[in-house]
Structure 1
Amino acid sequence: MVRERGSDSALSRNRLRDDLRDRILGGEFRAGDLLPSERSLVETSGLSRGSVREAIRSLEVEGLIETNRGRFGGSRVIEPRRDRLVHLVDIFVRAKGVSLASMLDCRAAIEPMMARLAARNMTPAALARLEELNQAFHDNVGALQDYRRINYEWHLEVARIGGNEPLMALLEPILNLARDSTEYERVTTPPNRLRAIAAHDEVMAALRTGDEAGAALAMEAHLISYARLTRDSEG
Structure 2
Amino acid sequence: MARRLQFQPVQPVRAYERIVQQIEDAILRGDLRPGQRLPSERDLVQQFSVSRSSVREALRVLQSNGMVRSRAGDPAGPEVLPFSPATLQKSMTTLARVSELSLAELIQFRMLLDSSANLLAARLRTEEQLAEMDAAMAVMRAATDDYEEFSRADVAFHDAVARASGNRLVQVCNQVVRSVVLTLIEDKIARAADRTAQMAESIAHHAEVLDAVRISDGPAAARLARQTLYDYYAGYVTEQEREFLRTLIDTD
TM-score by length of 1: 0.73
Partner residue in 2 for 1:186: 193
Partner residue in 1 for 2:23: 20
Match of 2:68 among 65, 68, 80: 65
Cα displacement string for residues 2-50 of structure 1 (whole angstroms, at most 9, x for unaligned residues): xxxxxxx752221121111111111111122222333333233221121
Shift of 1:210: 3.1
TM-score by length of 2: 0.69
Contact persistence 2:122–2:217 (CA under 8 A): yes
Count the aligned residue pairs.
222
| Alpha carbons of structure 1 residues 53 and 116: separation in structure 2 relative to 1, 3 Å | same
| Alpha carbons of structure 1 residues 216 and 167: separation in structure 2 relative to 1, 3 Å | same
Please, what is the CA RMSD of the aligned residues? 3.6
| Alpha carbons of structure 1 residues 140 and 47: separation in structure 2 relative to 1, 3 Å | closer
User: What amino acid is the match of 1:186?
Assistant: A
Cα displacement string for residues 109-163 of structure 1 (whole angstroms, at most 9, x for unaligned residues): 321122223334422222112113324444556x473655543443343234434
| Alpha carbons of structure 1 residues 186 and 174: separation in structure 2 relative to 1, 3 Å | farther
Shift of 1:218: 1.8
Q: Which runs of 5+ in 2 are unaligned?
A: 1-11, 239-252
Partner residue in 1 for 2:39: 36
Partner residue in 2 for 1:226: 232
Equivalent residues in 2 for 1:168-183, closer than 5 Å? 168-174=174-180, 176-177=182-183, 180-183=186-189
Aligned mates of 2:235, 2:78 — CA distance in 1: 51
Q: Report the secondary structure of 1:186's partner residue.
A: coil
Shift of 1:63: 1.3
Higher relative contact order (CA 8 A, sep 6+): 1
Partner residue in 1 for 2:158: 155
Partner residue in 1 for 2:217: 211
User: What amino acid is the match of 1:217?
Assistant: R
